[in-house]
Amino acid sequence: MLKTLDRPDCELVEKAQEAAARAYAPYSRFAVGAAVRSKSGAIYAAANLENASSGLTICAEAAALSLANSAGDPDIDAIAVVGFSFTDGAAGASRVIAPCGSCRQLIAEAAQRANGNVRVICCNGELSCIAVSTIAELLPNAFGPENLAVSRKWPALQEELRACAERLIAIRKKQ
Ligand code: THU
């Protein structure tokens, strides 16, 4: 139940529930909202976005993680997920949902990038059922960047990316 969570986690869950209202889910009729909290305290919330070409559907968790990344604030420590079927009456909002396999993989890499674990707060639509776990519990022995023979780590590459982008922007401003 919502009352069992502390104030910041309550707020995260509320943002996820509100985001679910903005789902585009004409095919599954299943709305999902996700809200990530970065270590800065900022919250990024998003909904699932479906497509007639089913494989192109974007899950709410992926969209929320992408928002945090695009805001330059990718180091997250928690994610709340709220999902419900919106054409099945009360029954559709009673079962707690958990991130799908692809989203677990995305959350695992976000955790690795933030040098920590990520708490995952899974909720049913009416927030009467809440299951709190960590991404390490939801996806043990995850495949990750350390499995790939990358000789240069992201922080160093990111510096190179920023320098390159700055050069390109400076060229554009001179034109
Ligand atoms: N969905 C999510 O947004 N996140 C998940 O972790 C599970 C599934 C969405 C995708 C699709 O729009 C709908 O829920 C039904 O699969």
Q: Are 64 and 113 in a shared domain?
A: yes
Overall number of domains in the chain = 2
Contact 87, 116 (CB under 8 A): no
Cα 156 to Cα 137: distance, rounded to the nearest angstrom = 30
Residue 19, CA atoms < 13 Å, CB-side half-sphere: 29
Query: What is the token pair recorded at 41?
Result: 């305290």
Q: Are 53 and 121 in a shared domain?
A: yes
Query: What is the token pair recorded at 14?
Result: 């509320």
**pLDDT attached to residue 94:** 85
User: What single-letter amino acid sits at 142?
Assistant: A
Question: Which residues participate in catalysis according to the annotation?
Answer: 61
Res. 169: pLDDT tops 90: yes
Q: Are 160 and 135 in a shared domain?
A: no
Q: Which domain holds residue 156?
A: 144-175
Q: Are 114 and 150 in a shared domain?
A: no
CATH of the domain at 126: 3.40.140.10
**pLDDT attached to residue 153:** 86
Segment 98-157, tens digit of pLDDT: 999 999 999 999 999 999 999 999 999 999 999 999 999 999 999 988 888 777 788 899
Q: Are 106 and 163 in a shared domain?
A: no
Mutate to test the pocket of ligand 1, among 51, 87, 100 (most ligand atoms within 8 A of CB): 100
Answer whether 58 contacts ligand 1 (Cβ < 6 A).
no
Q: Are 158 and 102 in a shared domain?
A: no
Q: Are 88 and 130 in a shared domain?
A: yes
Answer whether 25 contacts ligand 1 (Cβ < 6 A).
yes
Contact 96, 55 (CB under 8 A): no
Segment 49-58, tens digit of pLDDT: 999 999 999 9
Whose C-alpha lies nearest to ligand 1, atom 7?
100
Q: Are 119 and 50 in a shared domain?
A: yes
Angle at 107 between CA 26 and CA 119, to 5 degrees: 105
Q: Are 106 and 136 in a shared domain?
A: yes
Strand partners, 34: 46, 81
Q: Are 46 and 109 in a shared domain?
A: yes
